Structure 1
């Protein structure tokens, strides 16, 4: 088992020499075995250890006895200990959570803080192969997407699970061989918890149909996890190409491009958009994604939909807006004044209009490749054509320019109508200009007068965010 754990650590690149690891120790057999295995391996791995334990105030005297036991284990191994308690039942009541959900939230928050206290780069958890299988089955029972079928990830941020390849049977056998003492949590035997019923009833039943089913389910979960990781990465890339504007707590997406994505990818893109705003996907279900897709596909009108975690989804014309906060995303009201701000090489942050512009000189050899960048918030322009200083301003009545590929000029108002830009948004769309006129309508169209040509010797790349 020692060899298996060492191999798991290497396969998943869990640890690097010189790192300190906080080991989450409840006192149960899984965490005690994890602690002793990492203690044995710390010399080989070049790591140092610390111990973290949280009393949830759920099991009274038993919980206090657990804390004393863990403290003695840490002292015996001469390891630093972070020991705290938290009123989980009260936390659950205040937030309307189940005891299980509240305990998980509080525990992870404690571990993050404890790791910071002891300078730990990683937090080791005692989840093993059978936990992975139980999670897979639980998610199937409750209903889940592909990401829920991965079970438990071996590595998630700073959290690592070195025992994920070991069965519960192997862990108990290791504890017996080494003469390790551990605590028994009676709540693990209570039938009122669905996870306990899955472990005590469903898994043995499945093993009766075909011995070794747990190992095969774990292997399936790992393969599905790899597929889910790939698709999530793909969705993040597609999301980046749909963003028309991104401000703090708000994303604006191109509806037309979104609807051209495959239906399955649409759901994944929306998940990643919500994750980017909330930092998590807690309580976001299939029905929420389905509703957002349905509202996006409507041919006309506006629509609003509130999501868990105080996120609001708004369909407005050809824009899909996701905003953070109880109220719906702020409407793009025209500024009360006409703005015009200078643009210089480097980064230009304009808090007053909620935009950041980055201007970079581009080497002539790279001009041809960059001319065709598909990001609507990037433009590469012919620097030789620029007349005088650059500025960014908003729309003024009578503005005209020559859109890329057109012979004559066009009113900016007509462009907004063609692109289905709502009236109240038009005065917020930034225009990059020089003394001669409009160079770039950000997110919509570049002027043909400033495009990169064969004879172009210098170019400028402008990125808006």
Structure 2
């Protein structure tokens, strides 16, 4: 840590100011980063001025960022505290990345850890919510975490360190302050060694969390049969083998925004096609599997354009290749007929009417699968092919005058096949 390049998240309060003095005393390579949230008028500006003076005193670089926190909270429909947290950490992360800081140092201490534990406990949480604030989380380090607020105050007074008092810390408006001023003092009165006992409890809980993670990883290793950037496929039988499937499902999928855990458990015995959706993900039952995919309530412009139908004019086709959302389509005259396959089909060129259209298949689409008698709904064809929901969603069709020429990458249509009367054979290939 001493040889690393760090930035201290400094408010001007006693904890972060003590951390800055300690890093200076230890000759650490560090800078200061202060957020002015503009929530307390002149007091906020005074905090900013104090941090600038401290930077001069310690002879270190200072970064200041001003935020319209209330506007951000209103825009994102979150509390002021949550808005400040998001703005703060997003900026620290951006700063560290741009200026190559190895660590972002925050001044959380043992009392903060206890308060966070109690907040999570009162709101309801799983085991992870009771294991405390990590001393190191990616590039965020909390070197004061083992020390109590009392020890930090004693050090500040002994070293005659000056700091700024934030009067909002005395307000009972926020849950953390209620716990800090009303609950924790009573707990410390009951047990004067509360923080020591709490540290032991955290150690036990973290040991238990390690056992849970090891067991979870073992089940995940057996259950996951396939995964890529778009989906993860889980074997249902592996969840049914364990004593408490709900607990494993919770631990496996809790980070994907799901909250209706009874519905998730019910998927194990549901019909194919049933699903549970969160704000970010979709968990679908497909035969003997659960398939986890991303889902977005609002598609970005790139996604929207990716899913738009593509019109292919005669001129574009004559050029020989067209870039599409599913790959590059190549069009070329063929001297002889070869067997159709998943990546290429051969059609009668004179039967194609322009413009062609490449689009997602839709409910009600019908085609005449080559080699079969009669017509078939695309939806029934895809079901019979036992495609996963993801594969179905990714299926496109090439059409001519609304007649399907090709279920792309899967099956050609009999109406456009090459016959003895064909004068010009056209090869259409997807790469």
The answer on whether the counterparts of 1:267 and 1:290 sit within 8 Å (CA) in structure 2 is: no
Q: Report the Cα distance in structure 2 between the residues aligned to 1:41 and 1:131, rounded to whole angstroms.
A: 24
CA distance in 2, matches of 1:253, 1:220: 34
- Write out aligned runs for 1:220-369 (5 A): 220-232=201-213, 234-261=215-242, 262-263=244-245, 264-271=247-254, 274=256, 284=257, 287-295=259-267, 297-308=268-279, 310-326=280-296
1:151 to 132, 135, 141: 132
Per-residue deviation, residues 4-46 of structure 1 (Å, max 9, x unmatched): xxxxxxxxxxx3x53101111100000001111122123xxxx
Q: Distance in 1 between matches of 2:12 and 2:84?
A: 16
**Does residue 15 of structure 2 align to residue 30 of structure 1?**
yes
Matches within 5 A, 1:402-417: none
Q: Return closer, same or farther for 1:269/1:422 CA change in 2, 3 Å cut-off.
A: farther
Counterparts in 2 of 1:162 and 1:427: CA distance versus 1, 3 Å: closer
Cα gap change, 1:91/1:229 in structure 2, threshold over 3 Å: closer, same or farther?
Answer: farther
Q: Give how far 1:240 is off.
A: 4.0
Task: Give, in whole Å, the separation in 2 of the partners of 1:270 and 1:27.
Answer: 39
Contact 1:236 1:269 in 2 (8 A): no
Taking the aligned partners of 1:84 and 1:427, their CA distance within structure 2 comes to 44
**Cα displacement (A) at 1:236:** 4.0
Q: Distance in 2 between matches of 1:74 and 1:231?
A: 45
Q: Does residue 179 of structure 1 match 2:188?
A: no
Superposition RMSD in Å: 2.9
Q: SS at the partner of 2:388? A: helix
Contact 1:313-1:321 within 8 A present in 2 as well: yes
Query: 1:267-317, CA deviations, whole angstroms, 9 ceiling, x for partnerless residues?
Result: 212236x3xxxxxxxxx47x434432232x224343222213x21222222
2:194 aligns with one of 213, 216, 219: 213
8 Å CA contact 2:286–2:388 kept in 1: the answer is no
Gaps of 5+ in 1: 1-14, 275-283, 331-350, 354-391, 395-419, 430-465
Which structure would you say has the larger Rg?
Answer: 2
**Length, aligned pairs only:** 314
Distance 1:21 1:426, change over 3 A: closer
| SS of 1:423 mapped into structure 2 | coil
Moved over 6 A (4+): none
Closer, same or farther: CA 319–164 of 1 in aligned 2, 3 Å = same
Residues 1:58 and 1:327: Cα distance change in structure 2 (over 3 Å): closer
TM-score of the aligned structures, taking structure 2 as reference length: 0.67
Deviations 1:102-131 (A, max 9, x none): 111111101111222332111111000000
5 Å-filtered alignment, 1:108-147, equals 108-147=89-128
1:425 is aligned, of 365, 383, 388, to 388
**SS of aligned partner of 2:163:** coil
Distance of 2:60 and 2:110 partners within structure 1: 27
Q: Is the alpha carbon distance of 1:154 and 1:352 closer, same or farther for their aligned partners in structure 2, counting shifts above 3 Å? A: same
| 3-state SS of 2:165 partner | coil
C-alpha separation between the residues in 1 aligned to 2:384 and 2:232? 16
8 Å Cα contact 2:249-2:264 kept in structure 1: no
- Point out where structure 2 has 5 or more consecutive residues left out of the alignment: 304-324, 328-340, 344-382, 393-431
2:34–2:64 Cα contact (<8 Å) kept: yes
Going from structure 1 to structure 2, the CA distance change for 1:112 and 1:422 (only over 3 Å counts) comes to same
Structure 2 counterpart SS, 1:144: coil
Q: Give the C-alpha shift of residue 204 in structure 1.
A: 0.9
1:426 to partner: Cα distance: 10
